[in-house]
Homo-oligomer: A and B are copies of this chain.
């Protein structure tokens, strides 16, 4: 984990760096707004500690520029001023957390840990099978990057198959998972929907295992 400290008070900067390094982080240091802004843009940090009152460029401005450039790393703001309007400005500019001077260095450490932990939990849930991508969070699917237009049942079917990739899924199993009530087992709806799905995502992806059911798998891949 790599952290950037932007703080003009050399003493405080050094002190923070020490504690963070001790905690196992890699630390870069900047002593004014311009230097800090440049580093934050150029290097991939896992978190930034940013003072508000800085020479060369104000902390809020630095933050706004980063956010404007699409930088999303967590930023912890430091300020000596006890003015609540500064806090509000910092938060609205896209700060993730805030500590008022004077503070305990241990508190900063705890907050950095929390920020990094929180940022890590941002993994998008996506299942990929060959050219097909299933975005379970957004209820979307794409083939070769092109959005698929699926109906609700088609999506449920695809979703179940992709969640059980490589396995043979019986028709009974599919019926039981796609319909909550008891449903006419003698119907061939599943086959109909398999057909429609194949038409939309390509025939090679859903293999039919005669007498057993269906299996989804990336093509050109024996087992």
Residues in A lying within 8 Å of B, measured CB to CB? 64, 67-68, 71-72, 84, 87-88, 91-97, 103-104, 106-107, 110-111, 113-114, 118, 121-125, 135, 137-140, 142, 145-147, 151-152, 166-168, 209-212, 215, 222-223
Contacts and interface: CB of A to CB of B under 8 A. Distances in A.
Nearest to A209: B139
A190 B94 CA distance: 31
B97 A113 contact: no
B84 A142 contact: no
A151 B91 contact: no
A88 B107 contact: yes
A104 to B, nearest CB: 5
A142 B91 contact: no
Nearest to A213: B139
Contacts of A96: 114, 118
Contacts of A88: 106-107, 110
Contacts of A166: 135, 138, 140
A183 B219 CA distance: 38
Nearest to A114: B91
Interface centre among A71, A87, A124, A168 (most CB of B within 10 A): A124
A146 B139 CA distance: 32
Given A92-B137, A146-B222, A152-B212, 10 more contacts: A91-B114, A92-B114, A94-B123, A94-B125, A95-B114, A96-B118, A121-B122, A138-B215, A147-B222, A152-B211
Contacts of A71: 123
